[in-house]
Amino acid sequence: MNRVRGRLAPLLGSTLRSAGAGGVVKGIHQVARAGEAQELGRDLGRGFATAGALVQETPKQRGWVRRVGTVALGTGVAGAAAWVATGDYPLRRITMLYTIPVRLARDVTTAVAMVADYKYSLYGLAEGSAEREEAQHEAHMRCANRLQALCFKNGGIYIKLGQHIGQLDYLLPEEYVKTMRASMLDKCPVSTYKQVCDVFLAQLGRLPNEVFEEFDQVPLASASLAQVHTAKTFDGQKIAVKVQHMHLTDSAVADTATVDFIVSLVHWFFPSFDYRWLLAEVRDSLPKELDFLNEGRNCEKAMENFKKLSPKLASQISVPHIYWEYSTQRILAMEYMDGVGVTDVGAIKALGLQPADVARLVSQTFSEMIFRHGFVHCDPHAANMMVRAKPGTKEPQLVLLDHGLYKSLDPAIQSNYAGLWKALVFADSKKIKEHCIGLGAGDDLYALFAAILTMRPWDKIVDQSIDHLVVPDTPEEREELQGYASQYFWEVSDLLSRLPRVVLLLLKTNDCLRAVDNALGAPVNTYLIVARTSSKAVSEMERKGSFSQVWKFWDKLDLEFRLLTWKATALLFGIKHFMKSLGFS
């Protein structure tokens, strides 16, 4: 625990700082480097020890091994034949009998190279030393590039995994996040029209031009799992048709198992490197995302929740109507939605809308989902949201797209998460610790969890001054925070392996919303809306009985006073920076 607190001292604040590690004698380091190859050989040799042992067997034992091998081979061939025969695309599956081993070989080669790189680069370097931090940064860069190349070569869910990594700001080392974000988000596979026709024939028994009056053969957009085409029904409706890339369902299970094996292998070499949670989440969510009927149901349920639980907000939310008669597990036909990008400030202003109103609406929408509905869209990046003017008004209307990934929150998690945000607003260190532990962070890493959630060091989180969360970051602060994911690589890994997977998705959602809010130039809105909604949710959960309405009113009054002071502080902060930009000191 002391080691963890010492390493986290710069992030968690001066109250947790401990004495730094002593220096490292350079001569010892150079001698240690000479023995690295031997240690690396021993590490890599573990994986081949079992195979090597077979060579030492007696003739009788080798005969037994051959018989078992023959049975295993026959079973494998029979299983492969059955797998090919029962698939929608037998020829594709025959091809995959060759490609899957090739992909596995790429995975193993990449994993061994990454393990060797970290082992070699960090061997003999003292924890916390500047030399180790620099070596770790360089190793992160090399390994991120290797992982990027692997994702592009293998495609399929590897692209999806790379995109997921590219969205985990502050949760993974920035070298991985930036590398994946720069290359994965706009370079998705595109299926040919023939492949699209194959999916239609397998799913609906007809070609696209037989199902629809018109069908654009060129996709409107493509993502990692599917692409979208525009079409026109025989009764004249313009619709959007989402078609899954044809090979994904067949390869998903094998790819997921392979990647899981690689991550487990790396964890075996580096016990502190535990990112198996990332694969566990992919394994859990991917089948749901590949089932477009599930996506359609999520879409309708989300809108129904707003109508029932947040009726005042419902008119400002829109989701596409689902055309169930044209939809299957791999094809989703839905209403074609007009709108502009949620972060396109110029286009938003051209509609006569205010970016600040859009930011407020986005924050309010997802706060209601998280704190009151308990049914959350967990992929709210900018590409999955559009904005348009609410009919007959100058108010914004938010269009929510891509409903494949939703999570239902356990009441205990929902209560702790709402309570945590309320405690963060009031800088209540006791309650922050209580709710962080309730969410699974533990009593040794609760401060790190709060820091990741708010993007603030611990000493600022518990600062009783009014502006402890609301004042915008400086570029220097943002750079410092981004570096923490690399500097505290092992501690962050430990924390993320402890948290329930749904909490990890809440962190991802929180980060996506923060990025949208910042792009719209109104970073204060997220905290204001989250503060109101989480406090309201806590009051609804805790204030019951005859005087509940009185207590709820008091809670609201207390919160609004603090938020009013926040707004004043933010306004003064903005005026100060404006005057400074004009040359006034």
What integer pLDDT is reported at residue 460 of this predicted model? 83
* Catalytic positions, written as ranges: 379
pLDDT at 84: 44
Residue 317: Cβ within 10 Å count: 21
Q: Is 222 exposed, middle or buried (0-12, 13-18, 19+ CB in 10 A)?
A: middle
Q: Is residue 65 predicted with pLDDT exceeding 90?
A: no
Residues 387, 317: Cα–Cα separation, whole Å: 10
CB burial of 504-515 (b: ≥16 within 10 Å; e: otherwise) equals bbbbbbbbbbbb
Of the candidates 114, 141, 407, the one whose C-alpha atom is nearest the C-alpha of residue 259 is 114
Closest listed residue to residue 344, CA positions, set 391, 401, 388, 377: 388
Closest CA to 509 of 429, 415, 392, 409: 409
- Across the range 19-24, mean pLDDT stands at 31
pLDDT in tens, 520-534: 876 555 777 777 788
Residue 552 pLDDT: 60
Compute the average pLDDT of residues 54-80.
46
pLDDT at 135 over 90: yes
Q: Are 40 and 480 in contact (CB under 8 A)?
A: no
- Partners of 221 in beta bridges: 228
pTM equals 0.73
Residue 379 in this model has a pLDDT that exceeds 70? yes
Task: Sketch the domain layout of the chain as residue ranges.
Answer: 29-186, 339-585
Q: How far is CA 301 from the centre of its chain?
A: 22
Separation of alpha carbons 513 and 362, rounded Å: 8
The whole-angstrom separation of Cα 401 and Cα 228 is 12
Residue 70 CB contacts under 8 Å (≥ 6 apart), including other chains? none
Q: Which residues of 477-493 are buried (b: 16+ CB within 10 A; e: fewer)?
A: eeeebbbbbbbbbbbbb
Q: How many other CB atoms are there within 10 angstroms of residue 521's CB atom?
A: 13
- Cα separation, 400 vs 409, in Å, equals 20
Average of per-residue pLDDT values in the chain: 78
Q: In this model, does residue 320 exceed pLDDT 80?
A: yes
Nearest 10 degrees: CA dihedral of 507, 510, 511, 514? -160
- Residue 19 pLDDT level (bands cut at 50, 70, 90): very low
pLDDT band, very low/low/confident/very high, at 256 (cuts 50, 70, 90): confident
